[in-house]
Amino acid sequence: MARLPEYLRALHNLAETGHETVSSEGLANAAGVNSAKLRKDLSQLGSYGTRGVGYDVGLLIDQIEYVLGLTQRRAVALVGVGNLGHALAGYDGFASRGFRIAALLDADQERVGEEINGLVVQHIDELPRVAAEESIAIGVIATPAAAAQRVADQLVAVGVTSILNFAPCVLSVPEGVDVRKVDLAIELQILSFHEHRKASLTALPAAGGSALTALPGGLAVTESQEAIGT
Amino acid sequence: MARLPEYLRALHNLAETGHETVSSEGLANAAGVNSAKLRKDLSQLGSYGTRGVGYDVGLLIDQIEYVLGLTQRRAVALVGVGNLGHALAGYDGFASRGFRIAALLDADQERVGEEINGLVVQHIDELPRVAAEESIAIGVIATPAAAAQRVADQLVAVGVTSILNFAPCVLSVPEGVDVRKVDLAIELQILSFHEHRKASLTALPAAGGSALTALPGGLAVTESQEAIGT
DNA sequence: AGGCGCTTGTGAAGACGTGCACAAATCGCG
DNA sequence: CGCGATTTGTGCACGTCTTCACAAGCGCCT
């Protein structure tokens, strides 16, 4: 499940604040989900809760980390050291949560040789050598959209089977390769949609009209995390 | 729907390459979704396709931009000008897709006054004034997790009703405020899970064992975008 | 003008995720 | 040792999303 990492983060918080055990209700609140959903998710991992008590925080952390494959520190190659790539290279959230940026790569010779956070940017042509040396299985694409597909092909060619794509485009990859996409502008556009919806609803509570002037209020909205209470 | 921005991006690509019309199949490929799903999504906006021909690219762009509320250029306040905030401030994908970063804010006096991409970083205490001047409805939080909730409260207090949160924590906001969360490390962890699953399956195609050593292959996996063909 | 091929729009069926509500199980205390 | 409070694990029902399949509609060509 895609919620496991969120649980893991909440569990680490709890562990740091000295909690030995946690109830499904407590963990669900910390992770921002329903308690029944959380219990159902955790039951998929096998039973690790004690009825009447709750879950052992440490044990649950180990278990989730095992399932997520975080027992080994995975090496990641980051391609594209532009604006966003720079930030990603310096983002300590990766290192603190089980990942090691093993290589920074870029196609621009201007950027090759630059040192970021203790790592030197190498040319993308070095990818085959680097991938072999570091046994890289995960690649991050932070290039412009025009270069993303080419980079993806190169990553796949050297054995990368998981790609995190920040470029605003759809990647074609062979079967067996996983792609996750993060598009920062899309996130904002989704918020903009909600803004527009809210504005329409308050301005014209009961509006009809032609299709062209129809308000978007009728669209189904699956909000991500609304009104978590206080 | 959350897929509309993706369609919009694909449509802009098509428009730039000179396409006047596009079939649902073509647009679905460009956006990486099923054609039936795309047609159903577009039918929610009202009928804008011509049977036997397809959709008018320009018309569809206008329609989607209207529904997403992109007819006005929305002002965004970015709080937290650290590593990630820096990159976001310089990310031109925002400007090119209907958003204007109207203010950069940070609580660190060291960073106040710094100029990024033509904008000067202001202190977070300036938020009420800035929000009033720029009529800001969307806030982006790129602070450490410890500061995120406090910033969210401040944003809500000045009338922000949509928040994009990059901090790895759950935010509590009043009803009516939308929060979207992007956690870069979580994306990697999800990929790691897939890596682990793939490794387990290839190494031990039919494994049993106790719960502790059980393989995660049994977990339901809803892949985001796997095997889009060539 | 008529037919043919192509594409949209949609009804229906199925898969999936979600949440409730309750039985089973465990601990602590008298 | 037994009882009650508490919490997990899960069967069931519901709503949503997805996909297939096909009728309806449109343009083009003859």
> CA–CA separation, B169 vs B59, rounded Å?
40
pLDDT band at B205; cut points 50, 70, 90: low
> CA–CA separation, B61 vs B63, rounded Å?
5
Query: What CATH number was assigned to the domain covering residues B4-67?
Result: 1.10.10.10
Give tens-digit pLDDT for A173-190.
999 999 999 999 999 999
Average pLDDT of the residues in A203-216: 46
Helix B83-90 crosses helix A83-90 at what angle (to 10 degrees)? 170
pLDDT value at B210 more than 70? no
Cα B222-A59-B211 angle, rounded to 5 deg: 60
Q: What is the per-residue pLDDT for A227?
A: 43
Record: contact B69-A195, CB cut-off 8 A: yes
CA/C1' separation A51–C14 (Å): 36
Tokens of B159: 């009338």
Considering only CA atoms, which of B223, B214, B167, B174 is closest in space to residue B195? B223
Interchain contact B102–A (C-beta under 8 A):
no
pLDDT value at B80 more than 50? yes
Average pLDDT of the residues in A50-62: 96
Considering only CA atoms, which of A7, A3, A2, A4 is closest in space to residue A27? A7
pLDDT > 70: what percent of chain B? 88
| Cα radius of gyration rounded to whole Å, chain B | 22
Query: From the C1' of D10, which residue's alpha carbon is nearest?
Result: A40
Residues of A in contact with B10 (CB under 8 A): 170
Fold that domain B74-182 belongs to in CATH: Rossmann fold (3.40.50)
Q: How far apart are the two ends of chain A, measured CA to CA in Å?
A: 27
Whether nucleic acid strand D comes within 7 Å of the CB of B51, the answer is yes
Q: Calculate the alpha carbon distances from B169 to A7, A11, A51, A101, B166 in Å.
A: 11, 12, 28, 23, 9
Domain boundaries, given as residue ranges, for chain A: 4-67, 74-182, 186-218
Q: Is B158 within 8 Å of B128 (Cβ atoms)? A: yes
pLDDT value at A47 more than 90? no
Record: contact B189-A98, CB cut-off 8 A: yes
**Ramachandran region of residue A229, left (φ > 0), alpha (ψ -120 to 50) or beta?**
left
Q: What is the per-residue pLDDT for A149?
A: 98
Give tens-digit pLDDT for B85-128.
999 999 988 999 999 999 999 999 999 999 999 999 999 999 99
CA/C1' separation A48–D4 (Å): 24
